[in-house]
Structure 1
Amino acid sequence: MLATPTEDPVLPAGHAAEPKWDGFRALVGCWADGHVQIRSRSGGDLTAAFPEIAIAAAGLPAGTALDGEFVIWEHDRLAFERLQQRLHRRGSTAARAAAQWPAHYVAFDLLRLDAVDLTATAYRDRRAALEALFANHGLQAPWALCPATTDPRQTAEWLSWTAVGMEGLVFKRLDQTYRPGWRGWRKYRSRHSTEALIGAVTGTLSAPVTALLGRLDAGGQLQYVGRTTVLHTAARQALGARLRDGHADHPWTGWSFSAGWGSQDQLDVRLADPVIVAEVAVDVSLDSAGRWRHPVRLLRVRTDLAASDVPPLGTDKG
């Protein structure tokens, strides 16, 4: 089951809220014959990539299927890039990765128990069964029970967990059944505004399509931190009137830029003199280098700020 975005962080009536994890969605099943299988959202088999979860899943009651997310903690923060590095490992390399970067499985739904399909039952009943599963079988690490609440005060507190990489909230109607592939849940992604320098654009300098953003590292070098979503007309006009060609010694000369986090496709970019400050709306999903994993939204050009006013690289890592 999937979620559709919402801009409203308020818990709707008749709904429960859960924290939105910066993790990797997966189904974990221990079938009636004891066979364990871990499947990604796209259907890929992850069983061999996460041997510590597969071993733990063998101890679940036969005929159990869970929906949840893998998470890895590193330096007191969720580290999505460590999950990415583990996805394609198998055999001894997967075992070594499990020892170095152990994963937890945060379960937020119970789809099958004792070979009985629960997807046609209401969320409140599936949630009660999931809590009973954890309590009755004493499930501990690498298992984790995802918190859930109907208290708006608790959801407000969860929104303060962004420093550890918590992405926001997921809202689920209490009487809702589980329908695979249906976007019946709602997800709110926490965002805040901050500043970055525009170091390049896609499109042309006079008519940019997206902006590539940078921040200065501790040595004063401009490092790439992310890219905006497609610019709206007013933003294109505002930038097009101010952007100037990047000079010969532009710090990104000769660099290539990925079309997306984890993508092999490269962007066709035009380097710009990195003096324009942009105010952008960002979420909390960062990689280990302090780059935003998801495209950010340009709010406005800050003509009142200089490059020295832009927060340095790593400021948003919490």
Structure 2
Amino acid sequence: MTWSLPEPMLTVAVDSPKLPAGWAAEPKWDGFRAAVSTDAGTVVLRSRRGTQMGPAFPEIVAATSQLPDQTALDGELILWDWEAGRLSFEQLQNRLRRRGAAAARAAERWPAQFVAFDLLRLSGTDITGWPYMRRRAALEELFVTRALSAPWVLCPSTTNPATIHEWLTWGSVRIEGVIFKGLNDPYRPTVRGWRKYKTRETTEAVVGAITGPLTAPSTLLLGRHDTAGHLQYVGRTTTLTRVTAATTAALLTPATSGHPWTGWTFSAGWGSRQQLEVTLVTPDLVVEVAVDVARDVGGRWRHPARFHRARPELQADEVARRPEPPV
């Protein structure tokens, strides 16, 4: 019987970073969720949504020679930007588009790492039915006995609340939060059996457009000026409450000619092809929002921002500048 990579086990968001009894925690990385398997020389490197990523990351494919045959790992593809001193999702995303010689050159300049946080198959044995703590012990033993080295990285795991608290201070290097996993739980494909707590930061942005009617906007499209002074799109809020929509609408004015986003299109979310129907507004209202640390190319927020309050006392040019996209 042919073995194939199972669909990934998934998470459900929680509002508390408190470690539940009988659970372990791992850092939440700012990268691509990925699974890798090697079987009689055939290597599969697959994204959460099933995209084959092996051609874009030849260094990961080559490194499977360090693994026992018929072995599979679940984890996160990450890329460390040594100059910036943080994880770089932007460069990782740039690499995803490259193939052949271009992918090989990118691997030399911007090498990726595979942070392994679960072991799904070991030397031909499917171990997804084992409890997490047994799979974890086998994963740690694999790293020791095979002396796995770069690009392989063993994801930390802890049952110490103090360690979790320390991880949650690492937002500046793009650690997004923590994942909680039941010590006695098997690996259940497609099931949202893990818990995810994401750290968020409060910041400001300029409202450049809305969805929904101008009298009761549904969401706000947010922008920041780049170093040249052009207003660039950085993200969208979650759906506003009825009260928030009404109070915010009173501060918005319809756009006149010359709006910097005239003719632009906006997707419904990161990775989505659905286009939003938007109404442009005069880009002079500053709002305060809570965002997580996940960023797209050019500093766009990959996940919706939570609206906190309007800041009509601030000028648009007082908002932090959008970072320049990577070369």
Q: TM-score range by the shorter chain?
A: over 0.9
Say yes or no: does 1:153 pair with 2:162: yes
Say yes or no: does 1:192 pair with 2:201: yes
- Aligned residue in 2 for 1:39: 46
Cα-to-partner distance string for 1:196-242 (whole Å, 9 max, x where unaligned): 11111122221212111122333443222211122221121112222
The answer to which of 154-163 and 225-234 deviates more is 225-234
- Aligned residue in 1 for 2:3: none
Say yes or no: does 1:2 pair with 2:10: yes
Cα offset, 1:106, TM superposition: 0.3
> In the superposition, relative to structure 1, how do residues 35 and 249 fare at CA in structure 2: closer, same or farther (>3 Å)?
closer
Partners of 1:264 and 1:14 lie apart in 2 by 40
RMSD, matched Cα: 1.9
SS at match of 1:72: strand
Residue correspondence of structure 1 range 155-174 to structure 2 within 5 A: 155-174=164-183
Cα offset, 1:194, TM superposition: 1.5
SS at match of 1:289: helix
Partners of 1:157 and 1:246 lie apart in 2 by 45
Q: Tell me, yes or no, if the aligned pair for 1:198 and 1:274 is still in contact at 8 Å.
A: yes
Partners of 1:136 and 1:14 lie apart in 2 by 28
- Aligned residue in 2 for 1:69: 76
- Aligned residue in 2 for 1:226: 235
Match of 2:191 among 157, 178, 182: 182
Match of 2:301 among 268, 292, 297: 292
The answer to which of 257-266 and 155-164 deviates more is 257-266
Cα offset, 1:264, TM superposition: 4.1
Cα-to-partner distance string for 1:49-75 (whole Å, 9 max, x where unaligned): 221111111221112111101111223
Q: TM-score, normalised by structure 1?
A: 0.92
Cα-to-partner distance string for 1:35-94 (whole Å, 9 max, x where unaligned): 322222222322222211111112211121111011112232222233333334332232
Q: TM-score, normalised by structure 2?
A: 0.90
* Residue identity in the other structure for 1:2: L
Partners of 1:312 and 1:56 lie apart in 2 by 39
SS at match of 1:106: strand
> In the superposition, relative to structure 1, how do residues 176 and 301 fare at CA in structure 2: closer, same or farther (>3 Å)?
same
Q: Tell me, yes or no, if the aligned pair for 1:72 and 1:102 is still in contact at 8 Å.
A: yes
Partners of 1:156 and 1:237 lie apart in 2 by 38
* Residue identity in the other structure for 1:106: V
- Aligned residue in 2 for 1:29: 37
Cα offset, 1:304, TM superposition: 4.0
> In the superposition, relative to structure 1, how do residues 308 and 91 fare at CA in structure 2: closer, same or farther (>3 Å)?
closer
Q: Tell me, yes or no, if the aligned pair for 1:35 and 1:58 is still in contact at 8 Å.
A: no
Q: When the two structures are aligned, how many residues end up with a matched partner? A: 314
* Residue identity in the other structure for 1:18: E
Q: Tell me, yes or no, if the aligned pair for 2:93 and 2:297 is still in contact at 8 Å.
A: no
Unaligned runs of 5+ in 1: none
Say yes or no: does 1:17 pair with 2:59: no
Q: Tell me, yes or no, if the aligned pair for 1:36 and 1:58 is still in contact at 8 Å.
A: no
- Aligned residue in 2 for 1:55: 62
* Residue identity in the other structure for 1:20: K
Partners of 2:37 and 2:209 lie apart in 1 by 46
Cα-to-partner distance string for 1:266-301 (whole Å, 9 max, x where unaligned): 332211122222111100011342221211111222
Cα-to-partner distance string for 1:3-46 (whole Å, 9 max, x where unaligned): 11101111111111000011111111122x23322222222322
Match of 1:103 among 108, 112, 131: 112
Match of 1:255 among 250, 257, 264: 264
Cα offset, 1:259, TM superposition: 2.7
* Residue identity in the other structure for 2:45: I
